Amino acid sequence: MADAHDAPNGGPRRGGERDQLSPEELAELHSVETREWLESLDYVLDSGGPERVTELIDLLEQHAHRHGVRTPFSSTTPYINTIPASEEPEYPGDLALEKRIRALIRWNAMAMVVRANKESDGIGGHISTYASAATLYEVGFHHFFRGPDAGVDADAVYFQGHASPGMYARAYVERRFDVERMRNFRRELQGEPGLASYPHPWLMPDFWQFPTVSMGLAPILSIYQARFDRYLVARGLKPEGDGKVWAFLGDGETDEPETLGAIKFAARERLDQLIWVINCNLQRLDGPVYGNGSIIQELEGIFRGAGWNVIKVAWGSKWDELLERDEDGILARRFNRLIDGESQRYAAFGARELRERFFDSPELQQLIEDWSDDDLAQLNRGGHDPVKVYAAYHRAVQHRGSPTVILARTVKGYALGEAAEGRNPTHQQKKLDVEEMRTYRDRLKIPIEDDQMVKFPFHRPEVDSPEYRYLKERRDALGGWTPRRVVNADVVEAPGPEFVDEFLEGTKEREVSTTMVFVSVLRKLLRDDTWGKLVVPIIPDEARTFGMEALFRQIGIYSSVGQKYEPVDKENLLYYRETESGQILEEGITEAGAMSSFVAAGTAYATHGINTVPFYIYYSMFGFQRIGDLAWLAGDMRAKGFMVGATAGRTTLAGEGLQHQDGHSHLLAMPIPNLLAYDPSFAYELAIVVREGLRRMYQEQESVFYYVTVGNENRVQPAAPEHLSREALEEGVLRGLYLFRPSGKKRARKHVQLLGSGAIMHEALQAAEILERDYGVAAHVWSVTSYKALHRDALDVDRWNRLHPGETPRKPFVHEALADAKGPIVAASDYVKMLPDALSRYAPRPIVSLGTDGFGRSDARAELRDHFEVDAKHIAYAALVALAGEGKLDEDDLVKARKALDIDPDKRNPHVA
Ligand SMILES: Cc1ncc(C[n+]2csc(CCOP(=O)(O)OP(=O)(O)O)c2C)c(N)n1
Ligand SMILES: [Mg+2]
């Protein structure tokens, strides 16, 4: 007997007696044995039902395991449809009429793209994505998707971005769009109304709800959308409804980490109203998604492993005939052997290829011996068969306990003809020649004459046609046209000016960080009758870092199942309190997930008519550079709310070093057009910004959102400066710049203007003291709350002046504010120099910029500020150099000052260090 260590499965080797048998005897034994086992199983199935079979298999497995048998793990099922033909529900629609409607939409989708490219060569667009997905969408439109008029039962549908020609074509057939609009596809600047390339609520605010075209974002957003809907119900903000969240994705899109990265969360939260439909056309842009394997089987394993309900829609109805004939399961085994690169050939080359290469054994050939090539051509993929698709959706909407993914097998470029179907370049095909158009027309039976073909005409049936009536009736029954973005959120009055009052007084002796000030602002809002319930604090596992743990107890952490355990810190006043009505979304370590929640909460005014106000508080370094694409999407989607970059500043977050210290998020905030960005230094600045944000977003209902950085350096928060009226102060704070501390030196000959922001403001104030005390310079200190606001204003003014020659030129705010200020202007922040540099041209005089360009370091604040040359002495020195440039100091004085200030001229340049 072999040594136990050599045994397969690691267990002791058994069954030695069979070694005595000849191969024939062994085969016979195996066959009898297998039959006996299967018969026993059949008996149990008949008498005890599937549950008993499952139980027995479980027990068998455990038994085998105890005896050292390791059954290999498999999360996949055979490569056949999850729903057998016998379990398909009856199709509730008129299949023939739906086919006509589908043909019309297919036609117009194609015509729209081809026409646009004829008008404007290279303008792009996609034909083959929708061609593969038409049935998946149309079954949804006719029988499932509930439109906005369904109210609380309305669905959220994430349409795959590259399939948008199909949605436009449908809107045209629905008579929501006219021909002019169709002609403006991808030609948005040619005329009104334009038709955006992809789903963009920014561009089409009455139509699109969810931007999807940056691949991977729709999947993760849809998960957090579904969870947020539950949260709204749990918090009593929304009545419970039956709305589903549908997300249509590409199979290539599953390569994106964002696509699969959060699926475990959807299962953990038991989001059974979430339904993903992955259009498995087996291709992405360049070629097959997984040519050497099967993407459907691979995805099945992943989703099942994560706890999802998986429904495979692989094969169309015609295959059922063969499966029925196939008593020995050879067809199912052949499916299991099939790899995607191979099956792409059948799509491209048709029935003969299928006959020769798929039915590759005498047994398989036998299955189709009486079948013609025409019969074989009807062996369709499941995703093109409305009956199969309906069965899958039907099961998905009824499924309880976990989210569902439908893996639908389709052909990319379906029905588009030889040049496109299943071919590798099909994704980018945007043109068909007249001959190809004719073939397509004939295939779809579109009543357009040959002589009309050259114009690539659109076609839709009359209002009293059976097609239109059917289509309209179906949509009326399902809550109206969709996609459709309807905003009916109430106006919410912003808190009054008194909201800011306490912050104007400063903190007297008490030293607090701006993060703690933010927490005070938040708590104040939470206590507010109107706003308290609307606030949604979102945190990716750093509440303690930001000193926010008191909120755990106060407002609770949302958990769909409450708290089933006694928390370890229950004795503690601030214990970790999870509750079903909790208000905090404690997302764990997922900035992408937390940002998805931000988007869901920030757009609830449009999705549900509920004005929730997200405050997403995170490590500022892991903001725009980590989830920049989602932030851009938030802008497109007109999300509202506050992104709060905490532990901000390259030199303010001490110790953490290169990957943590953020000195550029304000630069990254620059490009998002409807994002306002603030880097406040003081408590009252922050309070003013938050109140104004609430006013603009929820009272004026502007499509803007806010980015605010807060730091963790404790400082006495000053009272508002006395030399400014409240009005002037608020204007300065909001527009980005105001004089915080004018110099007390009345008759100085030398003046300098120091611009500080965020945590570096304190260095500027100290620099002013040095300059006044040791160098006789009157140093006036300004607070720059927003470089972005100043820059935007300057650009607007600049543009106006350019377009209005001969009229009195306007002055940018930064110019106006500093117009009477004397001497050089020196700006310092905890961010890159590009921020003040961007203003230089618009200020009365060029700005000397100090900033934190370069990688961070682990050290304390003083050392870091010296390293990056943004501390008081470097600011003072830079001011002296600028004064020398104006002839107010000579070079000897400078060298002396450099020495006195202990500045090493040979220190390494932090930019490259
Ligand atoms: C983040 C991102 N990367 C790249 C692209 C460019 N792109 C658009 S479609 C596409 C291929 C899509 O393949 P798949 O997801 O399988 O969709 P299909 O068109 O096959 O349905 C690519 C790479 C994109 N839109 N977004
Ligand atoms: Mg694909």
DSSP string, 500-533: HHHHHT--TT-EE-HHHHHHHHHHHHHHSTTTTT
Ligand 1 centre to CA of 127 (Å) is: 13
Whether 251 lines ligand 1, by a CB cut-off of 6 Å, is yes
Return d(Cα 807, Cα 496) in angstroms, integer.
Answer: 39
Here the tokens at position 398 are 């009824």
Q: Which atom of ligand 1 is nearest to the CA of 128?
A: 19
pLDDT of 31 strictly over 70: yes
| Residues above pLDDT 70, as percent of the chain | 98
| Residue 13 pLDDT level (bands cut at 50, 70, 90) | low
Cβ(644)–Cβ(638) below 8 Å: no
User: Average pLDDT of 721-741?
Assistant: 98
pLDDT of 551 strictly over 80: yes
Q: Which atom of ligand 1 is nearest to the CA of 216?
A: 1
User: Average pLDDT of 370-380?
Assistant: 95
Count CB atoms within 10 A of the CB of residue 13.
Answer: 15
Mean pLDDT for all residues in the chain: 95
| Residues above pLDDT 90, as percent of the chain | 90
What's the pLDDT score for residue 190? 86
pLDDT 10s digits, 466-504: 999 999 999 999 999 999 999 999 999 999 999 999 999
Name, in order, each residue with C-beta under 8 angstroms of 301's C-beta and a sequence gap of 6 or more: 74, 75, 76
pLDDT of 447 strictly over 70: yes
pLDDT 10s digits, 756-800: 999 999 999 999 999 999 999 999 999 999 999 999 999 999 999
**Paired strand residues for 538:** 585, 616
Whether 286 lines ligand 1, by a CB cut-off of 6 Å, is no
| Residue 4 pLDDT level (bands cut at 50, 70, 90) | very low
- DSSP class per residue in 440-477: HHHHHT----HHHHTT-------TTSHHHHHHHHHHHH
C-alpha distances out from residue 491 to 148, 522, 568, 697, Å? 20, 20, 43, 9
Query: For the CA atoms of the chain, what is the radius of gyration?
Result: 33
Whether 283 lines ligand 1, by a CB cut-off of 6 Å, is yes
User: Average pLDDT of 163-183?
Assistant: 96
Return d(Cα 341, Cα 283) in angstroms, integer.
Answer: 9
Closest listed residue to residue 796, CA positions, set 732, 842, 757: 842
Count CB atoms within 10 A of the CB of residue 881.
Answer: 17
Return d(Cα 28, Cα 607) in angstroms, integer.
Answer: 65
pLDDT 10s digits, 194-216: 899 999 999 999 999 999 999 99
What's the pLDDT score for residue 7? 43
pLDDT of 903 strictly over 80: yes
User: Average pLDDT of 672-690?
Assistant: 98
Of the residues 215, 299, 409, 411, which should be mutated to test ligand 1's pocket, given the most ligand atoms within 8 Å of the CB? 215
**Paired strand residues for 617:** 644
Whether 143 lines ligand 1, by a CB cut-off of 6 Å, is no
User: Average pLDDT of 446-458?
Assistant: 86
pLDDT of 3 strictly over 90: no
More confident of the two residues 115 and 727: 727
Cβ(478)–Cβ(150) below 8 Å: yes
Return d(Cα 89, Cα 397) in angstroms, integer.
Answer: 13
User: Average pLDDT of 390-397?
Assistant: 98
| Percentages (nearest 5) of helix, strand, coil residues in the chain | 45, 10, 40
Here the tokens at position 461 are 């049936």
Q: Which atom of ligand 1 is nearest to the CA of 132?
A: 21
Whether 427 lines ligand 1, by a CB cut-off of 6 Å, is yes
Whether 279 lines ligand 1, by a CB cut-off of 6 Å, is yes
E strands, 393-469, where? 404-409
pLDDT of 14 strictly over 70: no
Return d(Cα 738, Cα 492) in angstroms, integer.
Answer: 29
| Residue 191 pLDDT level (bands cut at 50, 70, 90) | confident
Ligand 2 centre to CA of 115 (Å) is: 24
Whether 252 lines ligand 1, by a CB cut-off of 6 Å, is yes
- Indicate the SS3 state at residue 220: helix
What's the pLDDT score for residue 10? 46
- What's the one-letter identity of residue 738? Y
pLDDT of 419 strictly over 90: no
What's the pLDDT score for residue 5? 44
**Paired strand residues for 539:** 586
Least confident of 18-22, 399-403, 710-714: 18-22
pLDDT of 505 strictly over 90: yes
| Residue 15 pLDDT level (bands cut at 50, 70, 90) | low
Do strands 705-709 and 642-646 pair parallel, antiparallel, or not at all (unpaired)?
parallel
Here the tokens at position 911 are 């930019």
Report pTM: 0.94
Count CB atoms within 10 A of the CB of residue 831.
Answer: 27
Return d(Cα 913, Cα 910) in angstroms, integer.
Answer: 5
What's the pLDDT score for residue 781? 98
Cβ(63)–Cβ(72) below 8 Å: no
Q: Phi first, then psi: what are they for 78, rounded to 5°?
A: -55, 155
Closest listed residue to residue 618, CA positions, set 583, 585, 581: 585
More confident of the two residues 459 and 118: 459
Return d(Cα 908, Cα 868) in angstroms, integer.
Answer: 10
Q: Phi first, then psi: what are they for 393, rounded to 5°?
A: -65, -40
Ligand 2 centre to CA of 288 (Å) is: 8
C-alpha distances out from residue 549 to 232, 242, 520, 642, Å? 22, 35, 13, 19
pLDDT of 840 strictly over 60: yes
Whether 590 lines ligand 1, by a CB cut-off of 6 Å, is no
pLDDT of 178 strictly over 50: yes
Whether 389 lines ligand 1, by a CB cut-off of 6 Å, is no
Ligand located closest to 162 CA: 1
